[in-house]
Structure 1
Amino acid sequence: MGTKSAMNWITLWASLLFVVILGFSRLSYGMFLPGIQRVIGGSYGQLGILGTVNFIGYLVGTLCLPPLITRYPARTVIMNWITCLLLGITLIGSATSDHVIELGLWRFAIGWLSAFATVFVLSIALDAVRPAERGAASGLIWLGGSAGILATGLFAPLTIDPSHLQGWRYAWAIMGVFGIMAACGFALVSRTRGNELACSQNGSKPQEKEVEPVHRLLWNPKKLLFLIASYFFFGAGYIVYFTYLIPYLVSKGIPSLYAGLIWSGIGFAGLFNGWIGGKAIDRWPSGYTLASGLTLGTIGVCGVTANNMLFTVLGAAMIGLVSFITPPLMTTALLRRHVPHRAYASCLSLATAVFAAGQIFGPLVGGVVVERYGLQFGVASSAIFMAIAAALAGLFGHRQRKLERRELTING
């Protein structure tokens, strides 16, 4: 199977799909929360639980994936197309919600489908790229999420301003249509790749028992456990920040246009983060590289505690620049380096399940903090999770260095 450079049509369309998978389906909810509350009702704590419902769907989806991939390894392209098509349709469906329970069901379905789409799109796209450039390719794909945040922020005057009560509905419908178009585009460019994959699978079917060693690889403290644990706490931290940041800004009386520009600023900074982070992990494939971005992100979150809007904005920009896209793309790239080729999709699915569990745990804790201590402390609580994630990534880097030294001693 011929491989391509990081910049190719498959990674481009994958990036456009991540605009939908991450920016629109997952993180637009935090931006639309004030508008949704005005129409549907409920407290921010109650509506925050819908974020948890979304990630329960995400977790269920990731747990369903490994047996599906094992059973139908050559059909990932068609399964991905169906999944992404349905994701666009469910975004349109969620725009019709009139009650919290109804919206919760749509959020669950969106979480379930986005879990499938995340793993399928990454495994299909990265498999088509040369190994030395997979970090850069991962960065290009994940920066689609930043572009989605940037675009979502531009909807702010329509979705936050009280004079546009139904604005969030129109925005979600437009996003759903874009998602359907991106799904069709990715299916077209990856169709040839799917045929090549089917041929390769037919040519080498016998050894299908690589999955169990990979499980042991993930949960082994001497291997990948600290990396996976870091991914869990990052999931908990970043989702709390993105769920409650806009409600916090609105509660401080920030005009909807400015709140949207702050949100878009995170996305704009993340565009650079995706490319720089991908290049960095290709050059320094270490847990230390990941830990540095998470540490700076922790400092960025702490900006909200200063009771100064300038520090809050600068902190948001820092998160967008170094620690919003970086952890997922670096974790994706590091896994690709340490996991056997044939087991990568199943392994990524398990890692994504851990990430989803973090995104369930985070809003539960954040919702309690918001109800008891207010939105400011709710947003700031994400710094605790980010700091733990940074420490665990550093431990993974330390473990990597010890193993490298041992190998040098043995070979030396």
Structure 2
Amino acid sequence: MSTTAAPNGHQPHPFVLHHPILAALALSLGTAVALGVARFSYALLLAPMRNDLGWSYLVAGGMNTGNALGYLLGALVTPPLMRRHAAHRILIAGAFGTALLTVAPGLFTDTSVQLALRVATGITSAFIFVSGGLLVSRLAALHGQRAGLLLGLYYGGTGIGIAITAPTVPAIIAMAAAHGAAHPWQWAWLMLAAMALVASIVMSLSARLIPAPAAQAAAQGSWQARSLLFGLLGYLMFGLGYIGYMTFVIALLNEQGMAPGRITWFFTLLGVATFCSSRLWARMLDRFHGGQSLAILNALLCVATLIPALTAQPLAVFASGILFGGCFLSAVASTTAMVRHNLPPSAWASGISAFTIIFAAGQIVGPTFVGWIADSAGGLQRGLAFSAAALLVGALLAWRQRPLVSGS
């Protein structure tokens, strides 16, 4: 087992040295909160909220656009924050902030308030993603032979959130309806907040043991964005394309008449596949230093997104969910791996921030554009076809990204 000293000269905590898998799993609860609970559970709530509040698909998609806008703002703010505060403190603050903000949607029905809350949750979720990405990169640097697996476990934690919320959100909504609640979906938000709070507590116990290099040192690393231009553009198209599927696929399955029990299984299996993908793609993330990993994953996601746009056949739809779950967070991990492979440790924070910002920009466009398409002729099927096309373009762009010769 490696006993490499930390880049800031401090010896890592024994838990970090001897139990890297457990450390990565604990950190992964941050992504479970940021994405699995706070963002992607909205797919389960979109139809009940839309029906209750009279939203169009444009408005419903705009909620995730608001979340992505907040994510962009958070990604812009996090680097200066990390120049003043340790990364693990920002991660913990982001997780608890997200948990508290998840309470609020269960207390209001006003559309403007709901949108404002989605924006605020996006900001705190970005705190989790940027600071957590830096910490898991630090962990991976200490255990180079397991770097791909550790990165995959961190991002695959989103699947934990999805797999848990998939059966519990519909059950809570049904329970609330049975008790005569005026807005049954509000109960689900309160339950999600409780889950996020528990996950944040567990995550914080491990996060504080993985101190990143001093923020001031991390800020000194410089690099030219054009050196990873095609990787960034491929990731922009990934953000634009994948979010349409994750926002609207449950609504599409409802429209197609799939039984609620099958929809629950669909989303649960998608979450399980997301978590299991950490091992599936680990060696690929270690092997390829350019944009090949992102290109391959974007191409597979294109196929997965196109399937429910073409057929409502249950086996095909389930295959779509499993394939999508098995790829989409590994695409995120691939960009962190790209940063690690091509930039010096002092530039990891700025590199991860750059990819997070471009990712957020794509997510801002995706949900609203797909919702606008869905409100016109062709419906959600045509909206997902647009998402698939964006992912295909992302694959072609990422394939053109070559590793940097000097790694700087």
Equivalent residue, structure 1, for 2:393? 388
Identify if the C-alpha distance between structure 1 residues 372 and 287 changes in structure 2 by more than 3 Å, giving closer, same or farther.
Answer: same
Identify if the C-alpha distance between structure 1 residues 342 and 208 changes in structure 2 by more than 3 Å, giving closer, same or farther.
Answer: closer
**1:113 Cα deviation after fit:** 0.4
**1:362 Cα deviation after fit:** 1.1
Equivalent AA in structure 1 for residue 386 of structure 2: S
Q: TM-score, length-normalised on structure 2?
A: 0.87
Identify if the C-alpha distance between structure 1 residues 356 and 383 changes in structure 2 by more than 3 Å, giving closer, same or farther.
Answer: same
Equivalent residue, structure 2, for 1:115? 126
After superposition, where does 1:9-408 map in structure 2 within 5 Å? 9-70=22-83, 72=84, 75-129=86-140, 130-158=143-171, 163=177, 166-194=183-211, 197=212, 201=214, 210-211=220-221, 213-214=222-223, 216=224, 218=225, 220=226, 223-310=227-314, 311-321=316-326, 323-373=327-377, 374-396=379-401, 399-400=402-403
Equivalent residue, structure 1, for 2:17? 4
Identify if the C-alpha distance between structure 1 residues 39 and 225 changes in structure 2 by more than 3 Å, giving closer, same or farther.
Answer: same
Distance in 2, matches of 1:190 and 1:242, equals 28
**1:186 Cα deviation after fit:** 2.5
> What secondary structure sits across from 1:155 in the alignment?
helix
Between the two proteins, the alignment pairs up a number of residues equal to 385
Identify if the C-alpha distance between structure 1 residues 186 and 307 changes in structure 2 by more than 3 Å, giving closer, same or farther.
Answer: closer
Select the structure that is richer in helix: 1
> What secondary structure sits across from 2:294 in the alignment?
helix
Identify if the C-alpha distance between structure 1 residues 350 and 301 changes in structure 2 by more than 3 Å, giving closer, same or farther.
Answer: same
Q: Deviations over 1:360-384 (max 9, x none)?
A: 0112321221111311211222101
Identical-residue share of aligned pairs (%) = 26
Distance in 2, matches of 1:209 and 1:371, equals 45
**1:163 Cα deviation after fit:** 4.6
Higher mean C-alpha displacement, 49-58 vs 368-377: 368-377
Give ranges in structure 2 of 5+ residues lacking alignment. Answer: 1-5, 7-11
Q: TM-score, length-normalised on structure 1?
A: 0.87
Q: Deviations over 1:4-29 (max 9, x none)?
A: 37833321211122111111111111
- Cα RMSD over matched residues? 2.3
Give ranges in structure 1 of 5+ residues lacking alignment. Answer: 408-412
**1:210 Cα deviation after fit:** 3.2
Identify if the C-alpha distance between structure 1 residues 228 and 254 changes in structure 2 by more than 3 Å, giving closer, same or farther.
Answer: same
Identify if the C-alpha distance between structure 1 residues 272 and 192 changes in structure 2 by more than 3 Å, giving closer, same or farther.
Answer: closer
Identify if the C-alpha distance between structure 1 residues 252 and 334 changes in structure 2 by more than 3 Å, giving closer, same or farther.
Answer: same
Identify if the C-alpha distance between structure 1 residues 227 and 160 changes in structure 2 by more than 3 Å, giving closer, same or farther.
Answer: farther
**1:246 Cα deviation after fit:** 0.8
Equivalent residue, structure 2, for 1:410? none
User: Could you tell me whether the CA contact under 8 Å between 2:234 and 2:294 is conserved in 1?
Assistant: no
User: Could you tell me whether the CA contact under 8 Å between 2:148 and 2:286 is conserved in 1?
Assistant: yes
User: Could you tell me whether the CA contact under 8 Å between 2:28 and 2:153 is conserved in 1?
Assistant: yes
Distance in 2, matches of 1:142 and 1:303, equals 25
Distance in 2, matches of 1:160 and 1:377, equals 29
Equivalent AA in structure 2 for residue 118 of structure 1: F
